[in-house]
Amino acid sequence: MNVSKDGAGSGSTGRRITEKLSADALRERTGRDWDDWFSVLDAWDATRHTHTEIATHLRTEHGMDGWYAQSVTVGYEQERGLRQVGQSSTGDWRTSASRTVAAPAERVLAAFTDPALRGDWLPDAGLILRTHRPARSLTADFADSGAATGRLAVRVTALPDGRTQLGLAHEKLAGAEAVATYRAFWKDRLNVLKALLEQPGPS
């Protein structure tokens, strides 16, 4: 695995959503901060409900926007020990990464599907494609150094200025340690990919 020494195996699974979305920002958009929403959900006995039920309750009973309903639900589940950072509501472990690359969407996605191009930035990995929509998205089984290591979902979006937004999710990981490892791994590899695709062509 080609992870830089600064990140190899030493990172955490990431920050809790309560660290990413401040209490003040949440209060401004929803009328309550984290502690207030946690109290509301405790009074509703939210620990006895599923992720979907909690998010639906916040939308229908409290008029919360869908994105904030999901965010508060995740924050509550993390705070009450119902899930860890990097863990989905179903218990699966995942991490994600994104980059904006100064290259066409078709070429950015081809960096995953073309073995020769992929070898320039992801040399020890193998992909078995499941779905592929050129210049749009793909899903694939991921093998790291020959060992099956979860599944990738990659989406590219062409931007008006000619650049491409790349989003990658690495799902079905083994646990928190794998989440931390691959969070660092993809940060490093996507930086290499970005530099590779943005190299000036021959004059």
pLDDT tens for the chain, residues 1 to 203? 544 333 333 345 567 888 888 999 999 999 999 999 999 999 999 999 988 899 999 999 999 998 899 899 988 988 887 777 766 666 678 888 999 999 999 999 999 999 999 999 999 888 999 999 999 999 999 998 777 788 999 999 999 999 999 999 998 888 878 888 898 999 999 999 999 999 986 54
Beta bridge partners of 2: none
For residue 108, give the amino acid letter: V
Contact yes or no for 183/176 (Cβ under 8 A): no
Predicted model pTM = 0.61
Q: Smallest Cα–Cα separation from 193: which of 106, 98, 120, 126?
A: 120
* Region label for 159, one of left (φ > 0), alpha (ψ between -120 and 50) or beta (otherwise): beta
Distances (CA, A) of 130 to 6, 40, 124, 186: 33, 42, 20, 20
For residue 104, give the amino acid letter: P
